[in-house]
Homo-oligomer: A and B are copies of this chain.
């Protein structure tokens, strides 16, 4: 948020709290709906509700489509159903379906009954698809022409039906069974001669997207083939919707953000929760408590080896570095693996290569860190046996950590579990435990040389 926006926010809050509602609305007059939505996100719940009531229906529908799900839910909670109906009527079918997805079923029925029949049929159809699939992100508004149409027919069709289709870039071409056979960019439409037949000038290189494809795969296809908009088809190849690249942009960011935050043991919603510390803690705490018991287990291992430790208290000084390095190596390997799986850079059909690479990188780092810590230990405590023990344990812990960081996300992926969610906590805790186990058993084995 810029300085200017931040000042507007302060004025807005002041107006709302002193009930100067006309002034508050006036502040938003020249702003883009996306900027108004930004201001909304920074308001408290009751301020959001109060301000939203004052917006005209056009602005209200544009703004609500830009809001986070969290703010939408707050505003929808006690919005009169009639006003919700008016808003749904204004929205594109995909935004309407997204908005209604979190509203109780009986309210949805009431709202859909109050709007245009054709619109409500489309929204109802979109609501039936899983939110995270092609069907969940597509919109019903699109243009299609038969493959035998001429360019002149098509231009006429666009002029008649394209008025409400903002962002239209392509027209889909269908055969007599309503199957998608190609698409035609508006540029191609302008460049072609009026008498040309659509089937002869259309582009057949962009394959239609199956309606049940996961949104992450849809995004990957758009990204890879530089697609601007694609047709969505059902299992009979019939045209059921359209996905445009601006929706994809949000998905790409969402999906990566989700991965990152989940690996760190929290949740993407947190960014929208503002001051709701209970909700934020609800995401973070389970992970912390899990790790707490993992940490206690590591401590229990130290307790089991307390005879070794009491004999050579000097061994304790390397406990933090062994656990820290296992954690770090594990985070590096698991992060690169989770990203590689997400981007497709890691090929599930050639896993041997990935694992072999990680083992070699792990060995190289084990050698470097093992030597460094071994020399450091010797210089510090003047005890070559100690240096040897610590160096070996460090090297072993690093090799195990890098293997675990690679294999755990791949294993979860194979089992159909999100590697990002599972990898973070699992890898960190597991590496602490194995690291300490390796260190303490090595130390016990060499104890008689360490204690002189």
Contact = CB atoms under 8 A, between A and B. Distances in A.
A230 interface: no
Contacts of A373: 292, 296
Interface in A273-308: 274-275, 277-278, 280-281, 284-285, 287-289, 291-292, 294-296, 298-300, 302-303, 306
Interface in A332-370: 332, 335-336, 339-340, 343-345, 347-350, 353, 357, 360-361, 364-365, 368-369
Nearest to A205: B32
A339 B257 contact: yes
Contact of A281 (B155, B223, B361): B361
Contact of A277 (B158, B225, B360): B360
A246 B230 CA distance: 14
A299 B41 CA distance: 45
A38 B226 CA distance: 14
Nearest to A306: B313
Contacts of A2: 349
A380 B300 CA distance: 10
A37 to B, nearest CB: 9
Contacts of A316: 299, 302-303, 306, 309, 316, 319
A416 interface: no
Given A320-B323, A365-B288, A372-B292, A428 B328 contact: yes
Chain copies in the assembly?
A: 2
A344 B1 contact: yes
Contacts of A129: none
Contacts of A368: 281, 285, 288-289
A260 interface: yes
A135 interface: no
A365 B228 contact: no
A48 to B, nearest CB: 16
Given A261-B339, A320-B319, A320-B323, A187 B205 contact: no
Contacts of A166: 187
Interface string A216-257: 000000111111100000000000000001101110110011
30 contacts: A1-B344, A3-B349, A34-B225, A158-B187, A158-B190, A162-B187, A190-B190, A245-B245, A252-B253, A253-B343, A256-B260, A264-B331, A264-B335, A270-B336, A274-B357, A278-B364, A281-B361, A284-B332, A285-B368, A287-B332, A288-B328, A289-B372, A295-B324, A296-B321, A298-B321, A299-B317, A303-B317, A316-B316, A324-B429, A327-B428
Given A1-B349, A223-B249, A245-B246, 9 more contacts: A1-B350, A158-B191, A159-B191, A248-B249, A260-B335, A278-B364, A288-B332, A288-B369, A302-B320
